[in-house]
C-alpha cells in the first residue's frame, strides 16, 4: 500500500511551472502513473476520497491499462456539474492564506466548515486528525486543485471511450453518503451509469462527505471486498 502526497500537498514540492502553468486533473492523474512507474509497478488499485476520488476516476479514464480498479468516495456527476462562484473561491483563497500564515481564527473557521460536512448524527463520534489536514493548507496548490474540479464533467470523455470500443474501463466502486453536501445520491448514480456496467455504487445512510471517517468500518470492509474481487479477476 502506498499513500500518495500529490504534487503540491503535504511533503511533496510544488511543480516548477506553478503557478504560471497550473495543472489540470489529467496532469495529476499522469503524475500518479509516474509514481507507479517509479515504484516499478505495472498496475494498481487506486483509492481516493473527495478530490482524490475525482483524480482516481480520471486515472481510470486516461490510463485504464494501468488500473486494476478504483474506489472513489464522495464524487458524483452533477447536473449541472459541481462548481463554485468566484466569490466562494475568493473566500476559500483568503482563508487558506490566513491558515498558512498561522492565523488561529482562520483555522477554527476551516474546522467549523469541516465539521458541518459531517452528517449531524455522527459528527461527534468521528475520530479525525483534522489538525494534520488543515495545517497542511498552502498556496497555490489548494486553489489549483480546486480549479481542477470546478465544473468537471466526466461524461464527454466517458462517451468517447465507449463510442471508440477500443478501451475497456477497469472496475469501479463509487461510494457516497446520502447527506453529502457536494454530491447528491442522484449524481453518484449518474456517474456510475455514465461509467458503464463495470461500475457499482454504494450509498451510506445518514452520512456526509467525509464518509471514510464517519463510516470507517463499513468503508474498510467495502474496500477490502472490492479489492479482493478485482485483484482476483485481474490475476
DSSP for the chain, written as a single string: ------TTSTTSPPPTTTTTSPPPHHHHHHHHHHHHHHTT-S-EEEEEETHHHHHHHHHHHH-GGGEEEEEEES----SSPP---HHHHHHHHHHHHHHHTT-HHHHHHHHHHHHHTS-TTTGGG----HHHHHTT--TTHHHHHHHHHTT---HHHHHHHHHH----PPPEEEEEETT-SSS-HHHHHHHHHHH-TTEEEEEETT--S-HHHHTHHHHHHHHHHHHHHHHHHH-
Cis bond leading into 152, ω under 30°?
A: no
* Residue-range domain boundaries for the chain: 25-234
The owner of cell 497550473 is 22
The three cell numbers of residue 137 are 493548507
CATH class belonging to 25-234 = alpha beta
71 strand-pairing partners = 47, 173
What is the pLDDT at residue 86?
92
The phi, psi pair for 106, rounded to 5°, reads -65, -40
pTM over 0.85: yes
What does the alpha-carbon distance between residue 212 and residue 219 come to, in Å, rounded to a whole number?
6
Residue of 40, 27, 42 lying closest to 235 (CA atoms): 42
Per-residue pLDDT tens digits of the chain, which is 235 residues long: 999 999 999 889 999 999 999 999 999 999 999 999 999 999 999 999 999 999 999 999 999 999 999 999 999 999 989 888 999 999 889 988 888 888 878 877 777 776 766 777 766 666 555 555 666 778 999 999 999 999 999 999 999 999 999 999 999 999 999 999 889 999 999 999 999 999 999 999 999 888 888 898 999 999 999 999 999 988 7
Amino acid at each position: 500500500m502506498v499513500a500518495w502526497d500529490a504534487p503540491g500537498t503535504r511533503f511533496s514540492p510544488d511543480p516548477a511551472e506553478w503557478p504560471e502553468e497550473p495543472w489540470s486533473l489529467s496532469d495529476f492523474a499522469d503524475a500518479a502513473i509516474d509514481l507507479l512507474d517509479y515504484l516499478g509497478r505495472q498496475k494498481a488499485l487506486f483509492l481516493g476520497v473527495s478530490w482524490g476520488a475525482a483524480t482516481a476516476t480520471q486515472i481510470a479514464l486516461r490510463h485504464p491499462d494501468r488500473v486494476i480498479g478504483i474506489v472513489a468516495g464522495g464524487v458524483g456527476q452533477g447536473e449541472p456539474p459541481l462548481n463554485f462562484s468566484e466569490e466562494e473561491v475568493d473566500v476559500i483563497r483568503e482563508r487558506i492564506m490566513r491558515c498558512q500564515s498561522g492565523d488561529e481564527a482562520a483555522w477554527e473557521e476551516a474546522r467549523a466548515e469541516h465539521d458541518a460536512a459531517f452528517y449531524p448524527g455522527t459528527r461527534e463520534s468521528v475520530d479525525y486528525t483534522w489538525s494534520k489536514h488543515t495545517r497542511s493548507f498552502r498556496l497555490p496548490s489548494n486553489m489549483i486543485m480546486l480549479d481542477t474540479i470546478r465544473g468537471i464533467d466526466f461524461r464527454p470523455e466517458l462517451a468517447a471511450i465507449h463510442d471508440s470500443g477500443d478501451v475497456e474501463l477497469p472496475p469501479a466502486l463509487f461510494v457516497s453518503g446520502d447527506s453529502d453536501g457536494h454530491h447528491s445520491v442522484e449524481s453518484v448514480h449518474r456517474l456510475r451509469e455514465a461509467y458503464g456496467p463495470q461500475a457499482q455504487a454504494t450509498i451510506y445512510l445518514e452520512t456526509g462527505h467525509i464518509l471514510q471517517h464517519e463510516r470507517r468500518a463499513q468503508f474498510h470492509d467495502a474496500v477490502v471486498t472490492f479489492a479482493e474481487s478485482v485483484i482476483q479477476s485481474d490475476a
